[in-house]
A and B are shown apart, each in its own frame.
Chain A
Amino acid sequence: MPLGLSLLALLEVQGLTTHYRILRGWVRAVENISFSVEQGEALGIAGESGSGKSTVALSLLRILPQGGYIRKGKITFQGKDLTSLPENEMRKIRWKGISIVFQGAMNAMNPVYKVGDQIAEAIKLHEKGVTEADVKERVAKLLETVGIEPSRANNYPHEFSGGMRQRALIAMALAANPLMLIGDEPGTALDVIVQAQTLKLLRDLKDRLGLAMILISHDLSIIAETCEKVAIMYAGKIVEYGDAVSIFKNPLHPYTQGLIKAFPSIKGARVRLSSIPGQPPDLLHPPPACRFNPRCPYVMDVCKKEEPLLEDHEKGHSVACHLY
């Protein structure tokens, strides 16, 4: 097994392939990706928009929009294969097993219900026979966990600031005591300070509750600050995967190198920013072999003919590139 997959993993994804059916053909959004997340571990999935990172999250929960199909692969969560689970079983996994915090804190809540009631709804749906008083207490506790005054449960979403809404969404995701939390671009629409507060909260929650986390972001530095493991996605594939320290200290794939360099660093001297020339490919007709070959500065003949496989370069650090 290449990726250091272990039998202890809480979530194990093998060869996941998700495509979207459109009139002109199949959009190959996610192609043959594998990773694993253990209990209490945070995995960061990074990549540009259109790289398929959000599709991975939606596939895990089987909440793909119309036209999206998991065409291949296995998603093993607590020993169950989620791809073949019947819908009523799957509903038990969502929220109780894996829950998700969506991007866009501003629009993810229903504006006509009180925040507390929205959180209460999640509890009531997932636990039968809880008393009204119990639910109320749980809501208050959840809000406290994410640093919101419990009395604010009676407010409507518009009475919350952006950061508070993001916190309330996290509280809602935690309502059914999930084992794993997926954050799809948490903090992207937020200001730096509020974003830093949100990330700190997620880290604290992970440590305190022993949550497993998957954090999806285009911002590598957010992932560096929060996750132990990183998967870099490009055009629907994982091009580099492994331990965060190893990837950030010694990025191997030319795309990862470019991405890290493209970030203006707050530390260090003023430099001219470097970019990755070209554009992400059209996933309807992705480039043959290595999908990064049209933009790669080290492109060789073999890159256009043969697809590189994700292979271990050193322990806990694998890369899909012909250079290695």
Chain B
Amino acid sequence: MEPFSVRTGNSSDLDNMPKGPVADLPPKKAESKKEKKRYVRFRTEEGAIVEGTVSEKNASSKVNGLGLKFNKCYFVGEIGRVGRLWVNRAVRNDDDIPAGLQRFEKIEEVEDDSKIPPAPVMSVENLRKWYPLKRGFFETVFSKDEMNVKAVDDVSFNLSKGEIFALAGESGSGKTTLGKVVLRLVTPSGGRIFFLGQDITKLSDKEMKPLRREMQIVFQDPFESLDPRMTIKEIVAEPLRVQGTVDMDESGRSRTRKMGEREVEERVKKMLSEVELVPPEEFLYRFPHEMSGGQRQRVAVARAFVMNPSFIVADEPVSMLDVSIRAEIVNLMVDLVKKSQASIIFISHDIALAKHIADRIAVLYLGKMMELGAAETLVDQPLHPYTQALVSAVPVPDPESKRTKDVISGEIPSPVDPPSGCRFHTRCPYAHERCVMEEPALVEVEKSHYVACHLYS
């Protein structure tokens, strides 16, 4: 029997920003032909909603042809928060039951209810990445204040399943650092990261490795992110060779094994056709320099998606590409995300592009989240003066539009010694005394629209 992710509570409890720990999910993309895995929601007899990935094998019967039904289910955690759940777990005696386990009888799958937001794949709490500044010997001895570059400072958000979450902001706002920290490519200095229910903030590299199959990254520059001495096949196959594949054995336990050469080639070919490098045979043995920028970025996308991950960071994936092919790559990524139900953090300085593809946008400034909301609302009715400035600075392809728009002056200040109070006050047209003294908190101003600005509190 296996644990799977669960969140319990009434639907009203489940707002977009739950604070508790998130549930455990097993490596869910098990490659077993015998078994079907599904992401489902259940309602317990008491009416609480629990959700997660389960294998149909564990279900005792089917309800209405579609629903799965479980007779016994154990839940660890607090009701109303996200916890861990075992289905039909064999419990021989009381000692087998971990502390804090709750038992539910007879849970049934419920149909998709859009009122209940899906459980977060990732949640980030007060995340911080400070880089200490290198200083001379005397400074270290005689001065006690630490100097830090506050690249990411106190950022919190949740990422739902299948969501496209855009990070927007100028360069130096900390978007890329945030992307690297949540992947644990960079160790955070503070805060917590939950990924698939597990606290990954302090995991060692070895402990991270099995989780790495679920997280991938697409870099900005396809001319630099692909090894020039590897063939396309080797590039796309590399994650498969490193991570192997997960099989499910008879008793439902998962086991990692190495993949055979033929299997690898099959997977690579399939992936290449999915990124529209067709026929795949023609591309397998090419080298990156034999391909155009757009094709190279397709290879980078194929490499990221070949493990079927649940989470991808795309760091400015199209900013190096020509406008005419940009849309193709963006559409390809959106389609793959929709199809595989992966969640993606899309880092982009182009807020216009983010508006069209993202579900939500977070605007960063000097490592702080200034505004967070649904993509269209945030761009059409920006609340924070910084977001307003960003949106109005985007050039419009209409020669008759007003050319004398106001542009805020100045440039992003140094993150070493960010301005006191609200970090934007030095450039903000509405800045007043309070902005210099006091740092505004990120508050929900409208439903699911958060802003950190004193104008709204």
Contact = CB atoms under 8 A, between A and B. Distances in A.
A245 B355 contact: no
Contact of B397 (A163, A164, A193, A260): A260
Interface residues of B, number: 45
B177 to A, nearest CB: 16
Interface stretch (A82-90, A129-137, A220-228, A283-291): A220-228
Contacts of A191: 170-171, 349, 412
B356 interface: yes
Interface string B388-424: 0111111111111101010111011000000000000
A248 B327 contact: no
A266 B355 contact: yes
B349 A248 contact: no
Given A225-B395, A276-B324, A192 B376 contact: no
Contacts of B330: 273
Contacts of B411: 161-164, 193-194
B325 A275 contact: yes
Interface string B333-355: 01000000000000001111101
Contacts of A161: 411
B407 A193 contact: yes
A316 to B, nearest CB: 13
B356 A263 contact: no
B323 interface: yes
B322 interface: yes
Scoring A203, A225, A248 by chain B CB atoms within 10 A of each residue's CB, the highest score goes to A225
B409 A197 contact: yes
A264 B407 contact: no
Interface in B367-393: 375-376, 379, 389-393
A275 B326 contact: yes
Contact of A266 (B292, B327, B351, B399): B351
Given A193-B389, A264-B355, A259 B398 contact: no
Scoring A193, A195, A218, A260 by chain B CB atoms within 10 A of each residue's CB, the highest score goes to A193
A224 B407 contact: no
B225 interface: no
A224 B395 contact: yes
Contact of A225 (B170, B324, B328, B396): B396
A209 interface: no
A203 B292 CA distance: 35
B191 interface: no
A267 B331 CA distance: 19
Across chains A and B, which 4 residue pairs bring their CB atoms closest together, nearest first?
A275-B327, A221-B395, A273-B327, A196-B393
Given A196-B394, A224-B395, A262-B326, 17 more contacts: A48-B324, A163-B411, A192-B351, A193-B390, A219-B395, A220-B323, A220-B397, A248-B397, A260-B397, A264-B352, A264-B356, A266-B352, A266-B379, A267-B396, A275-B326, A275-B331, A280-B324
8 contacts: A161-B411, A192-B350, A220-B397, A259-B324, A262-B324, A266-B355, A273-B356, A277-B328
